[in-house]
Amino acid sequence: MILDRAGLVGYGEVGRIFASGLLPRLAQVFAWDLRFALPGHRDAALAHAKQAGVNACTSMQAVCAESSLLISAVTASSTLAVAQEAAPCLRPGTVFLDLNSASPGTKQAAAAVIEGAGGIYVEAGVMTSVPPYGIRVPMLLGGPRAGELAPILRGWGMDATVVSDRLGIASAIKMCRSVMIKGLEALVIESYATARAYGVEEHMIPTLAETFPGIDWHKQGAYFFSRVAQHGQRRAEEMREAANTVREAGFEPFMASAIADKQQWVADQARAGSFSGVQPGARWQDYADPLLAGRPPGP
């Protein structure tokens, strides 16, 4: 593999972080995002790319034409659609690195489309939140050509580990983890907000610390509330893919589906402006109080 020009499909939080991390290591980095063409979003997105030194492309076809490595970093629900849109535009031999949080079945379907068009598909399971790590975020790679890509990524400073030459294994690990992590977020939000509604949080939270003394439950609660308030939509879509993963394994995804619903509910509250007055570094109570204020009147 000779990879000297990378393209990002998706220039949101993850796409911007990866673009910034790759710029010192590659000759050029390109990006395509629907916001580049959307009134109301276009100017800010293009200005960010220009300031960062990223070449903003005008279409999927344009970013594919420029890239020997194409990195898909979109929301989970767009995983397959992006592969389908990119496939007809790919140069033969282009490596398509799929970072998206999707089920094994979705990743396998995306791989079939990319490889059918002459591309090389490698799945990645991104195993924790990207911002603290940047491009050094731990990633699990899977697919027949993952073993060729991994040393290249490591040479660029990435933490890339091959877990299988079978597609779907890396995604299964990621999705099973997501049920736990996003489930904890949903549980904390529901538990803490309810405790605050009854005025019992100062009695309840110390019992968590007693049972799990290694966790600062106030600090962890603030982090969970802030991440879901900011990224609840993305998390809800990821959890729908986690539910698909559970379903593909032959189980009914009772928990994963409920977690997706809770994440979506918080995303809807954020979209409605419930957290507009909450400042960075706020306590969990500062997020819970708007939720309490927005409750429907009691009987």
Specify the number of domains making up the chain. Answer: 2
Handedness of CA 113, 116, 117, 118 (dihedral sign): positive
Tokens 């819970």 — which residue? 288
For residue 131, give the CATH number of its domain.
3.40.50.720
| Residue 23 near residue 16, CB atoms below 8 Å | no
| Residue 149 near residue 95, CB atoms below 8 Å | yes
Q: Which residues of the chain have pLDDT under 70?
A: 298-299
User: Would you tell me how many other CB atoms lie within 10 Å of the CB of residue 197?
Assistant: 13
| Residue 46 near residue 23, CB atoms below 8 Å | no
Going by C-beta distance under 8 Å and a sequence separation of 6 or more, which residues neighbour residue 156? 21, 22, 25, 26, 135
Q: 127 with 204, same domain?
A: no
User: Residue 213 has which token pair?
Assistant: 């003394």
**For position 181, what pLDDT does the model report?**
96
**For position 272, what pLDDT does the model report?**
96
Q: Is residue 299, in this structure, part of any structural domain at all?
A: no
User: Residue 206 has which token pair?
Assistant: 């110390």
Q: What are phi and psi of 261, to 5 degrees?
A: -65, -40
Q: 40 with 109, same domain?
A: yes
Give the span between the Cα atoms of 66 and 96, in whole angstroms. 13
Beta strands in the chain (DSSP E): 5-9, 28-32, 55-56, 69-72, 95-98, 120-126, 138-142, 159-164
Give the span between the Cα atoms of 69 and 16, in whole angstroms. 16
Question: Residue 76, by phi and psi: left (phi above 0), alpha (psi -120 to 50) or beta?
Answer: alpha
Q: Is residue 298, in this structure, part of any structural domain at all?
A: no
**Residue 126, Cα to own-chain centre: how many angstroms?**
8
**For position 299, what pLDDT does the model report?**
58
Q: 59 with 146, same domain?
A: yes
Q: 265 with 138, same domain?
A: no
Give the span between the Cα atoms of 83 and 19, in whole angstroms. 19
Give the span between the Cα atoms of 46 and 105, in whole angstroms. 34
Per-residue pLDDT tens over the stretch 164-220? 999 999 999 999 999 999 999 999 999 999 999 999 999 999 999 999 999 999 999
Q: 138 with 205, same domain?
A: no
What is the three-state SS of 242-260?
Answer: HHHHHHHCCCCCHHHHHHH
Q: 158 with 26, same domain?
A: yes
Q: Which domain holds residue 217?
A: 171-293
Of 117, 144, 166, the residue that ends a domain is 166
Q: Is residue 17, in this structure, part of any structural domain at all?
A: yes
Of 147, 166, 185, the residue that ends a domain is 166
Q: Is residue 230, in this structure, part of any structural domain at all?
A: yes
For residue 226, give the CATH number of its domain.
1.10.1040.10
Q: What are phi and psi of 272, to 5 degrees?
A: -80, -5
Of 149, 166, 183, the residue that ends a domain is 166
Q: How far is CA 146 from CA 106, 137, 140, 151, 277, in A?
A: 18, 17, 10, 9, 45
